[in-house]
Structure 1
Amino acid sequence: MAATTSTTTIVVVLVLIHVIITNSATINSGSISPNFTASHYLFIENSGDFLRSINRNYTAAIANSQPTSPSFYLLIYHTASHAVVWAANRNTPISSSGQLSLSSTGLTINDDNGKPVWSTGPIGSMITALQLLDSGNLVLVDQFNKTVWQSFDFPTDTIVPGQKFPVGKFLTASVSPEDFFAGEYTFTLTSADGLLQWQRLTYYKLSMDPKSIKDSDRPVSYLMVNGSGCNLFSNPGSEIAINVMMTSAVSDYRILKISIFGSLVVMRYTNNNWVTDFTTPADSCRAPLRCGKLGLCSAGGCSCPPGFRNDPNMNSGCSFSDDSLKLPESCGPQLGGFVYVPLGAGLSYFSVDFTNPVRNNVGLSSCEAICSSNCSCLALFYGNRSGSCYLIENHLGSFISSNNNNNNGDDVKLGFIKAISLTNQDNSSVSDFPVIGLVLLPASGVVLILILAIWMSRRTRNCKMKPSSKKLVDHPDPYSDDLEMFFIAGLPVRFSYEDLVWATGDFSTPVGSGGFGTVYKGVLRDKTAVAVKKITAFGSQGHKEFGTEIAVIGNIHHVNLVRLKGFCTHGRDRFLVYEYMNRGSLDRTLFGPGPPLEWQERFEIAVGTARGLAYLHSGCEHKIIHCDVKPENILLSNDMQVKISDFGLSKLLSPEQSGLFTTMRGTRGYLAPEWLTNEAISDKTDVYSYGMVLLELIQGRKNCGHAQTHGSENPNTGPQGQSSGSSGSENRYHARSFYFPLQALEMHEQGRYLDLVDPRLAGRVTKDEAEKLVKVALCCVQEEPSLRPTMANVVAMLEGTLPVGTPRLESLNFLRFYGRRFNEPSTAVTGEEVELPSGFMVSTAEKSGTGASGYLFSYMSSTQVSGPR
């Protein structure tokens, strides 16, 4: 009897296992409901396929690129050809047991440990289905069958028939056929053209191809590919702006793709084979990295330029044949100076066709001097007849041989690679003068002449001052010679001191305080309102920062960055003249007594600030790190324009320098943890500060505050933790503090996002709106800089073009430590207390730096470096 029971049990178990396997292997048709889970392992009998469109045109699968690859992705592929047209987690693959989960809140991909590596982000409605349409679009729909998310909004490297590819979107090539990871080549659409780019540099335009015909002058709105070809359309009316001519085959299936080699191709699937209808650029040598770094591309293939050899340390590319030469590795001083290795006649470089020369009508030695003074410059091209000087900065790609070189007329451009001579470093006292002197002496003569001319002009200008202002010029200016160099560079206008006295009414209308000084409202003689920041120079450091701010702000222009109109020097005082923002700084509006900012206004401020920082980090010629992001440095106008100000603490970095900048600067409460751990400071330091500002926008008050306790909560404590009826001396002994970032973390863990919103906005903010900003803020303030998003990705998350990331709790645990220390009343361990500049109290035992308390004191005191701003 027992044996029969055992046998029956085994049979039942086997049947159940068979049922589970059979059900798990079923490929769904058209739609899937929430509470669905898929992995390659669960659907292994169907090679990971779990969903097909109704007419079986497309299939969704958890699959790998090659049968032997351990990396798996959520893919959509064309069923008939098995061509992958979309990959969700292309940069974060999972294993065969990693899972895709569909819930009522969205779609998520988790790794083996259950940690999310990709998601659709928060959706404003409850999800009722995941659908794969016959167009190839993967969509999430709500209870009203309305599409609330779609894969077409996040293309990878392919556009399918009928898919609209709008202006501002981009395709990114994969690194190889076996790896879906995003590579360096991109295709983006602008209102004027389609651009192929490498390292943000354009190397070809779609309109340059002979098959591209411009049919209209109207701006481009979107690109679409179908059976009849590929066209760029303008709205309204969907009029063709640019038509790409190719063989008509309406019944065939066509796709547009950016290849791993940097070309844009249109392929057609016909008779069970892929046929290429269009490839641009037709000349493969136009791809910037076709033959690797410093390689030479020609019709015969890849080789090395004269004086170079195959680099044994690289899969492709070349290096100097002379072992005594090497490429510059940083922007620091180079012993022995630079030498310039000629590439020989008949070689060209892609960027020369798409950039303007930095200088015209100069000699070769002057062009070399310009490159030598620019640490980002790695090579140059010089127009032998025109005297034009082109710089190649930050990255080096391949060169093109004479057979592919398209010179303008007889103005042959000669290329030179910037190098450091190791021999010169060993004998710098002997060899420095011939190399550097021959380059710099001719240029120095020009500079001296310019300085003399400007000095004469300035002297004449100062002589025209009114007698009543004579007392204003009695102070010597020991730094004027250095500042003349900024004037020579053609940067902002240099005002006379008399101009600013007249404009500001003798500095009678202060409107705020900024770095190192006071800001005054003024009106120039042309009726333009300005903000004049008066800076009292603190020795050489203050002077240096003044010069840095002029050089940085004067060269950048962005709608979310304050515009520097000019500057002035007078004795030891320095003045910066900005455009006037009539609503003042964000801290006044956000923390002041007036009506609260509405949520949409706060959101627009968050987006505008993020855009400005993204431009500083990746849109300028050099990376710029602000280093002091805070509400006081975010300015507003009456029409809610948002502009970032105060670049006095900015650092202009090249890629070589970005890991070397470790000087501590900033303001208490916004400094990232890496300031205290001697880690390299990067653009992710600004991201941290931005996250702290975003938390303050959410709650409408400072992240850190104090309340009197005297053993219990003070009934007179105001809504922001400030006492409304006690003196500062009473705060000295028993201060109780709060730390909002910790509260944000705790409410995030509990999903109570509305509890974090400014209570004055109660009922006017949705949970989804609050959740979006809280999650973005927490992603920004993660302790590990590499986990923080870039500011460009922050903009994308806020604008909805990129799913909102999920902050990692283990990288936010440091907030618990900070929060606990902030929330503990200060007590004396040794009976003696020390008062910190901000009003915080700490015992001498804590100040000695022992244990966690010492770390907190280090954190607290280090943030005072720049003082109150």
Structure 2
Amino acid sequence: MSVMFIATCVALALCFAVGAAAKVSARRPLRGNDTLVSAQGRFELGLFSPAGSSDGRFYLGIWYKNIPGQTVVWVGNRATPLSGVASAELRVSAADGNLELVGPTNASALPVVVWSSNLSSSSLSSSRGSNTVEIRDDGNLVLVDGGNSSTVLWQSFDHPTDTHVPGAWIGENKLTGEYQTLTSWRNAQDPAPGMFTDMIDPNGTSEFFYMWNRSRAYWRSGVWTWKVFERLPDATGSITSYEETSAYRRLTNVITDNTTITRLVLDLTGQAKLYIWVPARQSWQLFWTAPTMQCQVYALCGAFGICDQRSQLPCRCPPGFAPVSEGDWTLSDWSGGCRRSSQLTCAHNGSTADGFLALPNVKLPDESVSVAVAQSKAECESTCQKNCSCQAYAFSAGDVGCTVWYGEIRNLEQLYVDSDVSGSDLHLRLSEAGLQVLHGSDRKKRGRKLWLVFGIPLVGVVALGASVILAWRILLARRRRLARMENEKGSSLAVYSYGDLRAATKNFSERLGGGSFGSVYRGVLKRHKGDNIIQVQVAVKKLESLGGRQGDKQFRAEVNTLGLIQHVNLVRLFGFCPSHDEKMLVYEYMARGSLDRYLFGSGASRSWRERYNIMVGVARGLAYLHHGCQECIIHCDIKPENILLDEDMSPRIADFGMAKLVGRDFSRALTTMRGTIGYLAPEWISGQPISAKADVYSFGMVLFELISGRRNSEGYSAVEAAGSGSSDSWTFFPVWALGKVMEGEVGAVADPRLRGNVSPEELERACWVACWCIRTKRGNGRPWRRSFRRWRAPSRFTRRQFRGLCSTSSRSCNPPGAATQIFLYIVQVMRKHVCRLKLPIQTRRSSHRYVLLSKHVWKSSDDIRK
């Protein structure tokens, strides 16, 4: 029995060894469906066929090993697919030491070399026949010198395709002149190079461009500021970095958290999309997109194609045109564009039967020629009609005048009345046959006869119908007015119509800002104050993300609940608009704007007293949201941008209640990722239930920024550079601040612009509260970020750490002040049973044990025993 068992184990081991190799060499090629797996099993190399493809095309690719669904991050033979895998193999050439892929193609049934690392003989050593190939855990496929295992001869990171993973780079090799670029797939089933490229500026700057056909930039990253790119975010788990030496200049991502998986993909539609893998959902979460609007991609729909941002499919052909390739359009490849259904009949002598079709309200193409001699629309049309190369014209009575286009027309976009930019009428050239198909000459003749026969009766019917419609609208308006008055009786808020708020905001002309739930506009409304009517400034928030998904009855109920929530540190809600299509909220107007403007703006420097009062006010507001309301309200996006300041510099929390209302037991999980990277608690990524502790984490991050006067994401190197010269390392600022607090150097954490004008006791207290807020601990404690896991809080706190919280000279403590209330509230959220929490406080004279009561009163254990 034991002999059979050992034999079985050996057989299984051999099977696994055949299926997944460790290295590839001249003697050990990778054949057929065999794969090459990285040391820790993160990435896998092998042959694959694109999802949905049925034409038998196979490619050499790298994908994630343990993520469901094949997510390919690199392709070798993009333009030369294999026609089968049975006789295909990946090997190291015994002759020249190159890595090469051999197999059958559509052009040759016999195995041929379809792809190679293509290294010159001068770059290979004499031991080229013993070169080996392996895939590393960062997804990099490397060809290693057989004579020196530390020498990498070729690597896939130097030849990226459409995906950028942490550790890889994009840039330029100054020695060879080669560029490392991201190039989109041709379509969803063809990884051949597409029309869109992400590359570094060829002119030598640090800026990165998204380009169409490597000739037209349609998005820019902004230049490197020695910390970040102006318009490029840092992904979770990695930090964006830019390096330039005499040999290269490139962008890369330094991995800071191996548990977080991210990838940046240049999509086949021309948009760059940053994805984060969420294990709890077993899916990729879209985190960032550039450009944000699909139609901002240049020439997305090809020649004569029209991009429509509000259509389910962004591209369509104008009337009289059809797609050049229907098959490509079904695979989301619109780069081929459109062509006329019937050819033009223009003659070179200027005689033509061609006409023009008007495309109203479109964004005009860039490549145009102005004709100043045309003084009217008719002259402009005649000028274009006489030139057989003229494809379209547009006429404006203003300074622009007549504009014509020659050759293919690209980058057309359909606009609407409420679009950010205004459109124009473009007159597109069509043949007479094409116009007849659209309009029909017979239809015109038949229409004239029908008008004579039915015209007079039709006028009477229209007049009668208009009268009925007018009466119906008057009755409907009256019913709506009565219903509005009835609704206001049972509501603490004012109910406004869409017209009221549009007039108050001057057609939403002055935009104050925007966030996850919509845009905010400034307006002026009339409100009753006693017997008088006064004008007050308000902030109107259009809830663009809700749309019509929430019923009016449910919306009214939830908004009325928010209207009952009033606190000195919360932005007050005045009223709402319950329109089915345009739901809006009306808030009081905060003249001083948001906290980030005064904390991080140029020349901004607030005193320590103002900052400390802001800390206290925000804590009070959060305490009221979590414990003072009938139902606990979790904010989910506490950050300086959502903390507004009134005339007295008193903080007001904005956007509260925009996330879901959950019960006091905090057992319900919020499934929609909200918030801002840098302030998000780890629960959002790990998939744990979201509770009020998520707000506590964000509050702690805001405390650090109030204390230091800088963004946490700026790192700690800048701080040291100011004090000791320079620093090449980068450390997350809260980690650095925590170390200083533990070492007793609390003053080093304070904003240097304060010039030491701080209260040492308040500074120390605020630092400890910030550290507790972002604490990670299994159980009921506030989860820490992964960076803090090596730190362990002391089991007993010294009097110095709790100085000012209570007086141990008497048997009972003084009632807690405002600063103590911050601490009490944070501790409440960090523990489930407040009344059972015991905090040992060690003093120099004696040791007392204090119990935290539910009424925020400190008493010694001796008093409680009495």
Structure 1 length-normalised TM: 0.37
Asked which structure has the greater CA Rg, the reply is 2
Structure 2 length-normalised TM: 0.37
Question: Which of the pair has the greater relative contact order for Cα pairs under 8 Å at 6+ separation?
Answer: 1
